[in-house]
């Protein structure tokens, strides 16, 4: 009887040990599951924060480049590469007014610009090269699918004359694409046209040469702005400016006079156009400044001026600390010719 009793106690002990083992295993699994959940949540939270930080940085970069392009004046073109994060909700992301908005993991991230925008985000995440183009009253921003040579179009003509010029368009989007090509141009006294307007189809990597014609009417004078529009899945625009002169000046600086308003001690930039109105290239262009303003302004403009074309000249201004009016003259010389613009720097 004693032996039987002992054997029963052993079975009870083994059963109890099994229950305790299962209980300990269950507790261990619960603890492991809890830790796994915590670790997963931390990893997911870290990933979300990483993507949101990336998107916020992309917005700041784009906003800065947009303001810089607008500050340089109409016709300025810049390219910038940014990364659109993986958690972007494109249905709730947009470019509107003066705001760039990316919705990342349910949170809106916003960057403000100083100028109205025209553009749209791509439809998927990844690295993109955006082309930023400044116009008179807005800035266009688009994914780089087409490249242009030249990337700025400025034609200088006399009243009542016309000139043909070529534009090379390259499909750099990595796939075949079609665009509806049209020309948007302001003003009745000048125009730009092309016999190739309409649908343009590109194979991957294909280039096309477009012929355009600029015309200055008999009553035209000054600058006339417009742009070439390539409408497709991703729109592309290229500014075009026609400068019509009432007098035949072989070399011109436009405007011929300019007043700049600036705060004391501030740094700014002003844009001018330097135009060669002859059928021959001008070489060795140089800039000089005279008068009081020469102590506070400079420009790196140099090189050649193409026949019947204009180039942008950027004048960097470091305003003095003392308020007042500082006068002077900006002079451009090339191939034995000179032209100038009178300057007044008003510091407040």
Q: What is the pLDDT of residues 128-183, one digit of tens each?
A: 888 888 887 888 888 888 888 887 788 888 878 888 999 999 998 888 999 999 99
Which residue's structure tokens are 């075009």?
Answer: 240
CA-based max dimension of the chain: 132
Q: Is 261 helix (H, G, I), strand (E, B) or coil?
A: strand
Domains of the chain plus CATH, in order, are 49-143 (no CATH), 146-245 (2.60.40.2310), 251-347 (2.60.40.10)
Three-state SS annotation for 266-321: CEEEEEEEEEECCCCCEEEEEEEEEEHHHHCEECCCCEEECCCEEEEEEEEEECCC
Q: What is the pLDDT of residues 184-217, one digit of tens each?
A: 987 778 999 999 999 999 999 999 999 999 998 8
- Backbone angles phi and psi of 275, in degrees to 5: -120, 130
- Backbone angles phi and psi of 213, in degrees to 5: -130, 130
Q: What is the CA 117 to chain-centroid distance, rounded?
A: 10
Q: What is the pLDDT of residues 232-285, one digit of tens each?
A: 878 888 888 888 876 667 888 988 888 898 889 999 999 999 999 888 899 999
Buried/exposed 60-75: b ≥16 CB within 10 Å, e otherwise: ebbbebbbbbbbbbbb
């Amino acid at each position: 009887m004693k032996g039987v009793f002992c054997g029963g106690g052993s079975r009870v002990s083994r059963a109890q040990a099994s229950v305790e083992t299962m209980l300990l295993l269950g507790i261990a699994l619960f603890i492991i599951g809890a830790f796994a959940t915590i670790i997963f949540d931390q990893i997911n939270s870290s990933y979300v924060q990483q993507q949101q930080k990336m998107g916020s940085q992309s917005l700041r970069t784009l906003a800065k480049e947009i303001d810089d392009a607008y500050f340089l004046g109409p016709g300025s073109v810049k390219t910038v590469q940014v990364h659109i994060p993986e958690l972007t909700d494109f249905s709730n992301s947009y470019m509107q007014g003066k705001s760039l908005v990316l919705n990342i993991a349910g949170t809106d991230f916003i960057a403000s610009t100083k100028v109205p925008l025209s553009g749209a985000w791509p439809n998927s995440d990844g690295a993109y090269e955006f082309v930023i183009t400044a116009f008179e009253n807005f800035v266009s921003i688009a994914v780089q699918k087409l490249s242009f040579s030249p990337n700025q179009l400025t034609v200088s003509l006399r009243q009542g004359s016309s000139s043909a010029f070529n534009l090379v368009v390259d499909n750099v989007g990595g796939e075949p694409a079609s665009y509806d090509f049209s020309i948007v141009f302001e003003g009745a006294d000048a125009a730009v046209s092309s016999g190739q307007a309409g649908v343009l189809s590109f194979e991957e990597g294909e280039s096309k040469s477009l012929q355009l014609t600029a015309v200055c009417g008999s009553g035209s004078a000054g600058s006339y702005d417009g742009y070439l529009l390539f409408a497709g899945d991703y729109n592309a625009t290229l500014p075009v400016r026609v400068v019509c002169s009432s007098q035949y000046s072989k070399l011109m600086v436009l405007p011929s006079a300019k007043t700049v308003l600036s705060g004391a001690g501030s740094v700014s930039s002003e844009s001018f156009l330097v135009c060669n109105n002859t059928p021959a290239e001008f070489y060795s262009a140089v800039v000089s400044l005279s008068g009081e303003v020469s102590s506070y302004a400079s420009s790196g403009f140099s090189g050649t001026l193409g026949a019947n074309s204009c180039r942008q000249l950027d004048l960097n201004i470091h305003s003095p600390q003392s308020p007042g009016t500082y006068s002077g003259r900006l002079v451009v010389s090339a191939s034995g010719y000179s032209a100038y613009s009178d300057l007044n720097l008003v510091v407040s």
